[in-house]
């Protein structure tokens, strides 16, 4: 990593109360903690008028803009803080998390890596990098950084975190290594919603629907407004040829979340089985219009052709 640029310590000055930037900074912090972000912004700007050399002032300004969902202004303030103090790890992390939220994973990983280089003992940052590469669909690179995390944890005599096992399980699932994924998930001491989801998806991929549905039931108990959990319950009932219950789950899931496009495929299959070709055709056409799994493409096109409507 490049060497850190030097930065100045706060000036040893005596301020009068009316022109003391630290008073305005403290008032801004107080307003920020009280979620009065406009007042906080006003106060930190007054502090910066009096002293624009302190990185912590720009950090707070970035935090305020972030709370106001003004992400570009937040990044601008954070970048100014970095210019004042290049080794400001927490600001690098703030920049990275904003880029990650905006799905700018190249920028996010760059900032996370700068933070990790500045503070090598913070191996948790490596897992943030792993998550970015997963979202970026770079599984081999994600796996490489998981290996780096484990190596560093071993060298520092630190226990492997639950997040490590979850991310390792996620990478293996996305690489279609379902049995291996389950081995790592089994080592998670306190399963979160992502862990439960990965359990369910792994078991479904292995066509063990009885085991898989138990995890989606747990997720449904945690969040009854999430249409995805009804969709996966529908898959279970469909696998059991219980089409009435499957249809009910699919329709309710679609009502909760209209972007569950694969639901149209299964509803089309159920309607086709029932001999309702007109409605089945509509469902398959909706599926083709919004989403098309390459594995299902030939089947769907053949069904649409057989129903006499190759074009819409």
pLDDT in tens, 135-169: 999 999 999 999 999 999 999 999 999 999 999 99
Residue 310 has pLDDT above 70, yes or no: no
Instruction: Looking at 51-104, list the stretches that DSSP marks H as alpha helix, in order from N- to C-terminal side.
Output: 55-67, 71-84, 89-101
**DSSP per residue, 31-60:** HHHTT-HHHHHHHHHHHHHH----HHHHHH
Among 197-211, 243-257, 283-297, the range scoring the smallest mean pLDDT is 283-297
Residue 93 has pLDDT above 50, yes or no: yes
| pLDDT interval class at 11 (50, 70, 90) | low
> What does the buried/exposed string (b/e) look like for 256-275 if buried means 16 or more CB atoms within 10 Å of the residue's CB?
beeebbbbbbbbbbbbbeee
Residue 14 has pLDDT above 60, yes or no: no
Average pLDDT over residues 283-287: 94
**Confidence at residue 7, expressed as pLDDT on a 0 to 100 scale:** 39
**Confidence at residue 17, expressed as pLDDT on a 0 to 100 scale:** 53
**Confidence at residue 4, expressed as pLDDT on a 0 to 100 scale:** 42
With CA atoms as reference, report the closest residue to 108 among 93, 123, 120, 118.
93
Average pLDDT over residues 118-142: 96
The superfamily in CATH containing domain 232-307 is Tetratricopeptide repeat domain (1.25.40.10)
Average pLDDT over residues 41-54: 96
Extract long-range pairs of 146-154: CB within 8 Å, 24+ residues apart: 146/171, 149/123, 152/120, 152/123, 152/126, 153/123
Q: Which helix H or strand E contains 294, and what residues bound it?
A: helix 294-306
SS3 260: coil
**Confidence at residue 309, expressed as pLDDT on a 0 to 100 scale:** 61
Q: Across all residues in the chain, what is the average pLDDT?
A: 93
Q: Say which CATH class 1-9+16-87 falls into.
A: mainly alpha
**Confidence at residue 219, expressed as pLDDT on a 0 to 100 scale:** 98
Q: Which residue has the tokens 């039931």?
A: 217
**Confidence at residue 293, expressed as pLDDT on a 0 to 100 scale:** 84
What is the residue extent of each domain of the chain? Answer: 1-9+16-87, 173-222, 232-307
Among 37-51, 200-214, 296-310, the range scoring the smallest mean pLDDT is 296-310
With CA atoms as reference, report the closest residue to 148 among 180, 190, 116, 191.
116
Query: Can 1-9+16-87 and 232-307 be said to share one CATH topology?
Result: yes
**Confidence at residue 16, expressed as pLDDT on a 0 to 100 scale:** 53
Percent of the chain, pLDDT > 90? Answer: 89
Residue 113 has pLDDT above 70, yes or no: yes
| pLDDT interval class at 267 (50, 70, 90) | very high
């Amino acid at each position: 990593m490049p060497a850190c640029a030097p930065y100045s310590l706060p000036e040893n000055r005596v301020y009068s109360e009316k022109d003391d930037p630290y008073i305005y900074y403290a008032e801004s912090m107080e307003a920020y903690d009280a979620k009065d972000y406009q007042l906080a912004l006003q106060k930190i700007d007054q502090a910066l008028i009096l002293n624009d050399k302190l990185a912590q002032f720009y950090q707070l300004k970035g935090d305020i803009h972030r709370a106001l969902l003004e992400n570009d202004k937040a990044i601008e303030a954070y970048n100014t803080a970095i210019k004042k103090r290049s080794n400001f790890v927490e600001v690098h992390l703030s920049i990275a998390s904003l880029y990650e939220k905006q799905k700018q994973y190249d920028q996010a990983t760059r900032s996370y890596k700068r933070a990790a280089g500045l503070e090598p003992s913070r191996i948790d940052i490596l897992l943030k990098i792993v998550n970015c590469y997963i979202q970026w669909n770079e599984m081999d690179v994600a796996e490489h950084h998981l290996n780096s995390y484990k190596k560093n944890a071993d060298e520092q005599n630190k226990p492997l975190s639950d997040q490590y096992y979850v991310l390792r399980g996620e990478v293996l699932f996305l690489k279609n290594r379902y049995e291996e994924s389950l081995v790592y998930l089994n080592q998670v001491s306190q399963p979160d919603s992502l862990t439960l989801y990965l359990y369910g998806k792994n078991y479904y991929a292995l066509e063990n629907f009885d085991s898989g549905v138990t995890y989606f039931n747990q997720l449904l108990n945690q969040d009854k407004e999430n249409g995805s959990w009804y969709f996966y319950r529908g898959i279970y009932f469909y696998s059991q040829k219980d089409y009435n219950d499957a249809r009910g789950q699919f329709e309710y899931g679609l009502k909760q979340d209209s972007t569950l496009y694969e639901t149209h495929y299964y509803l089309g299959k159920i309607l086709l089985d029932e001999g309702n070709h007109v409605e089945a055709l509509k469902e398959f056409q909706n599926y083709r219009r919004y989403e098309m799994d390459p594995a299902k493409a030939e089947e769907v096109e053949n069904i649409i052709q057989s129903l006499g409507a190759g074009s819409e």
